[in-house]
Chain A
Amino acid sequence: MLILANVRGALEQVWANRLRSVLTVLGIVIAVTSTITVVSVVQGFTGYVSDFLQGLGTNAMWIWPERPGGEAGKRLGRVTLDLKDVQALQAECSTLRSLSPLIPRPSATVSMGRTEVTTQLEGVSAEYHTIRNLPVEVGRPFTFLDIERRHPVCVLGREVLRKLERGDDIVGRTLLVDGRRFRVVGILAEKGSVLGNSQDDLVLIPYTMALTMYPSTRTTIALAAQALDEAQVPEAKAQVVSILRRRHRLDAYQPNDFQIRTQDEILTAFNSISIVATAVLAGIVGISLLVGGIGIMNVMLVSVTERTREIGLRKAVGARRRDIMLQFLTEAVCLSLLGGGLGVGLGYGITAIVSLHPQMVDVAVPAWAVLLGFGISAGTGVAFGILPALKAALLNPIDALRHE
């Protein structure tokens, strides 16, 4: 009952000093706005990236030859990864479910009739479909024979179809890839885009064919592999490293002449980015809460001075110290919740605007971020409202009533 009267009185007070109230809560508005916006965007990206990584495959890892940096790297001989390495891994790695060579060409020309488009090409094996989660929607995936016999067949991503302005009837027809005739056997299911890069702008051909077409890649084959299960990923990684080091005759002091990345590591790398973003957010929020809180404290102190006689009167008609304390604390909290409300609104607005960007990921404001925003603003109100409220509560009623 008293609380209700307090809240009503506080709202009247805030409304009576509209401009002052809004200016006062600016710091809190900024704090809550940045909380909502950054949390939403980071959440959006995190969800997106984990979806993307799931899409890359399950328990997948990538291996590619790479000269390590520094003096040690320079002293290594030729850095290679060839088919013999691939065969050795296939034969010896017990923790790998499957393994596919991966010969990537960032740009390849695909032409059909008079239409000529540029796209990415990957030379792969039949296992690649499962490792990368690239199911075929129309037609068929690669078969063992396609790879073994070096069939001139290809599987297309949806984006390539769009670029060629062709429909599903393209399956079974032939086209030219970098000047060679290929028959289209399948179309991949749509995967969407990452940060504006389509994952469907892709042509898959048998890696045996790719090695023939691009002979220079014979000694720089990359690999995509899949561990038996999640728990086996580190073990699989260790096995790959030891097999390749042995085959490349690396001594103990020499660094790896290849790189190996698991999905987890990519996720970890991304997480460290979002931790940085969160730390920056915490900094902004902390500073603006401090500024906002001091603003609120300042205005509440002014308010207490302005209303000294009112406080005296309230005490004269029976208000106890705690009643006065509660009244001013309620007012501070109402003020800061006003800031919180404006901040939440503004945060929603900014995330909505940000989402309008065509290459932006789906951003949704999580409910807990809204609660967090209101929570921190109410907390600021309490923390910085205590001093003015205490000052009001401890006023001597006689002096207060005599205050000019």
Chain B
Amino acid sequence: MTADPLPLPEPAAAADGPPPVILLRGVTKVYRMGLEEVRALDGVDLRIDPNEFVAIMGPSGSGKSTLMNILGLLDVPTGGRYWLAGRDVARLSQSEQARERGRRIGFVFQTFELLPRQTALQNVELPLIYSGVRDRRARAAEALRQVGLADRMTHRPNQMSGGQRQRVAIARALVQEPALILADEPTGNLDTRTSEEILDLFDDLHDRGQTIVLVTHEPDIAARCRRVVRLRDGRVESDGPGGLSEDRETISC
């Protein structure tokens, strides 16, 4: 099943400190398109430790979305292994997948994906409903406070600006205290100034210990991350430190 060159130890037992948030070993994803096979991911190895702030970049068709779907447990890999916070999640059943997804991963989408008829508070409560948590209201309110929307709790999405909506979405991602926040082009629908605010908020969360993976194709956004993973043709092309100073064009393996 796996194409591991080395016999890997179980990551939970792997030496020092807490297990990595994400550990991918030889992950492949193959789609069938008629008779043709498309290898969207072709043996991806990736390790993300707690409190990392990683950007995943790549041109369209590089397998970036597929990787995000697999990381987010929205899809299962064809081959390879995936440990999420120490648990092997590559072959989970549908409902276990949903449960893990709800508990360990907070999604932030480009288009916010708030429920239009629900207040900010109700939107943030949504993940807690599915995980059956008791003090939903209090936890949702706390999450909204963290993103600076304590005074907007009873507003509906159409009464808020784009930046505020994305903050609600981030609060919704935070409310389960997930191992990982997975943001897919979170500033794609926002103007520059608001984008800055949202990225500042991510920085802020990172400073407080949150692990964040940000999928983007905008280099200056990736540049703000501590680490940038570039994909090309379903493989990791480069994996190195980000930073504004670095020359974007010439990162090599």
Contacts and interface: CB of A to CB of B under 8 A. Distances in A.
Q: Which of A310, A313, A323 has the most CB of B within 10 A?
A: A313
A184 to B, nearest CB: 78
Contact of A320 (B95, B103, B115): B95
Q: Is the interface of A mostly helix, strand, loop or mixed?
A: helix
Interface stretch (B67-75, B141-149, B197-205): B67-75
Nearest to A318: B102
Nearest to B66: A398
Main secondary structure of the interface of B (DSSP, over half): helix
Contact of B94 (A2, A321, A398): A321
Interface residues of A, number: 22
Contacts of A12: 117
B53 interface: no
Given A2-B130, A2-B132, A323-B130, A318 B113 contact: no
A202 B72 CA distance: 89
Given A2-B129, A2-B130, A323-B130, A318 B109 contact: no
Contact of B102 (A5, A317, A321, A398): A317
Contacts of A314: 126, 130
A12 B103 CA distance: 27
B238 interface: no
A316 B129 contact: no
A319 interface: yes
Given A397-B74, A398-B69, A401-B109, A317 B126 contact: yes
Nearest to A307: B115
Interface in A298-334: 309-310, 312-323
B154 interface: no
Given A2-B132, A322-B95, A316 B101 contact: yes
Given A2-B129, A320-B94, A320-B95, A310 B74 contact: no
A210 to B, nearest CB: 81
B107 A316 contact: yes
With most chain B CB atoms within 10 A of its CB, the pick from A310, A317, A322, A397 is: A317
A135 B107 CA distance: 86
A403 to B, nearest CB: 11
Interface residues of B, number: 24
B99 A318 contact: yes
Contacts of A313: 109, 113, 115
Nearest to A400: B74
B98 interface: yes
Contacts of B172: 317
B127 A317 contact: yes
Contacts of B74: 315-316, 397-398, 401
A2 B136 CA distance: 12
Contacts of A5: 129
A318 B75 contact: no
B69 A318 contact: no
Contacts of B75: 398
A12 to B, nearest CB: 6
Interface in A222-279: none
Contacts of B94: 320-321
Contacts of B161: none
B159 interface: no
B107 A318 contact: no
B232 to A, nearest CB: 22
A317 B107 contact: yes
A397 B69 CA distance: 10
A1 B95 contact: no
B103 A318 contact: yes
Contacts of B158: none
Nearest to B125: A5
B95 A321 contact: yes
A16 interface: yes
Contacts of A398: 69, 74-75
B2 interface: no
B95 A318 contact: no
B98 A315 contact: yes
Contacts of B101: 315-318
Interface in B76-110: 94-95, 98-99, 101-103, 107, 109
Contacts of A1: 129, 132
Contacts of B98: 315, 318-321, 323
A315 B74 CA distance: 9
A320 B99 contact: yes
B215 to A, nearest CB: 13
Contacts of A320: 94-95, 98-99, 130
Interface centre among B74, B98, B99, B127, by most A CB within 10 Å? B98
A401 B113 contact: yes
A398 to B, nearest CB: 5
Nearest to A397: B74
Nearest to B72: A316
B60 interface: no
Interface of A: 1-2, 5, 12, 16, 309-310, 312-323, 397-398, 401
14 contacts: A1-B129, A2-B129, A313-B109, A313-B113, A314-B126, A315-B74, A316-B74, A316-B101, A317-B102, A317-B130, A317-B172, A318-B103, A318-B130, A401-B74
Given A316-B113, A323-B130, 8 more contacts: A16-B117, A313-B113, A318-B103, A318-B130, A318-B176, A319-B102, A397-B74, A401-B109
9 closest A-B pairs by beta carbon, nearest first, are A318-B102, A317-B127, A318-B130, A320-B98, A313-B113, A320-B95, A316-B107, A397-B74, A319-B130
Interface of B: 69, 72, 74-75, 94-95, 98-99, 101-103, 107, 109, 113, 115, 117, 126-127, 129-132, 172, 176
